């Protein structure tokens, strides 16, 4: 009978090395895809949280400003939209009697710096955010029964996209506006609120909500 040459069995060292290298590349690529997906999911979750927080804060602020009188604003914001303020005191309308508005005691909405993280460019409270503050609501301003509570936390010093450089970085017509920005155009107030949320690896995500409300005459 004809004899056949012995077939080689097993793998050579070179084949093992090449196979191991290819396996390492495949596993590395799979790991990178998995990590990238986890980062994207985490960032998306953080962004959704920031957006929801900004929307809720905006709704609460606008609900208060909807009762503000056009002639009782402090400071008296220019009606041409050229400036904005992060602090606004106003008299809210309580009711109308015989066609005459009855005004309540003064209310103030303001963005205030955090006591634990003052505006110094440092993350003093080690929460992953720098110079964050809060939006507060103060009722009965100047009276003995004045009281203040927080509407929203993690509000940055400046609105999203803005830098403290004397320029309109986010192209909204305002310069160096705060994380709470109240702008007046005629009898309308435009309110912008940015909220920043800490993410993974020392990163953070910022979201901004914007709307307008009419002032009372």
**Is residue 192 in a domain?**
yes
Tokens of residue 184, six digits: 């007046």
Provide the residue range defining the domain that includes 58. Answer: 40-214
**Is residue 19 in a domain?**
no
Counting the structural domains of the chain, the total is 1
**Is residue 145 in a domain?**
yes
pLDDT of residue 61: 96
Tokens of residue 43, six digits: 């960032």
**Is residue 53 in a domain?**
yes
pLDDT of residue 202: 75
How many CB atoms are closer than 10 A to CB 212?
Answer: 13
**Is residue 35 in a domain?**
no
Mean pLDDT in consecutive groups of 10 residues from the start of the chain, 217 residues: 55 70 72 67 81 95 91 90 95 81 89 87 82 94 94 94 93 94 95 91 88 89
Using alpha carbons, select from 139, 134, 88 the residue that is nearest to residue 109. 88
**Is residue 50 in a domain?**
yes
- The answer for residues whose C-beta is within 8 angstroms of residue 29's C-beta and 6 or more apart is none
- Distance separating alpha carbons of residues 62 and 33, to the nearest angstrom: 43
pLDDT of residue 80: 93
What is the β-pairing status of strands 133-139 and 100-103?
A: unpaired
Tokens of residue 45, six digits: 């979750």
**Is residue 24 in a domain?**
no
**Is residue 6 in a domain?**
no
- The answer for residues whose C-beta is within 8 angstroms of residue 103's C-beta and 6 or more apart is 69, 72, 91, 92, 93, 94
């Amino acid at each position: 009978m004809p004899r056949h040459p012995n077939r080689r069995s097993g793998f050579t060292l070179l084949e093992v090395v090449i196979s191991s290298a290819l396996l390492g590349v495949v596993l590395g690529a799979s790991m990178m895809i998995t990590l990238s997906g986890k980062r994207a999911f985490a960032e998306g979750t953080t962004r959704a949280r920031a957006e929801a927080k900004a929307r809720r804060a905006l709704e609460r602020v606008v609900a208060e400003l909807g009762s503000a009188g056009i002639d009782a604003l402090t400071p008296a914001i220019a009606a041409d939209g050229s400036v904005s303020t992060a602090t606004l005191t106003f008299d809210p309308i309580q009711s109308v009697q015989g066609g005459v508005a009855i005004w309540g005691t003064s209310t103030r909405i303001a963005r205030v710096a955090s006591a634990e993280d003052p505006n110094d460019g440092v993350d003093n409270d080690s929460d992953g955010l720098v110079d964050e503050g809060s939006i507060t609501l103060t009722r009965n301003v100047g009276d003995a029964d004045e009281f203040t509570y927080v509407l929203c936390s993690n509000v940055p010093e400046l609105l999203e996209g803005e830098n403290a450089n004397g320029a309109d970085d986010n192209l909204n017509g305002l310069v160096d506006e705060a994380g709470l920005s109240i702008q007046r155009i005629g009898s309308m107030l435009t309110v912008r609120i940015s909220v920043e949320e800490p993410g993974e690896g020392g990163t953070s995500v910022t979201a901004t909500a914007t709307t307008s409300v009419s002032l009372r005459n």
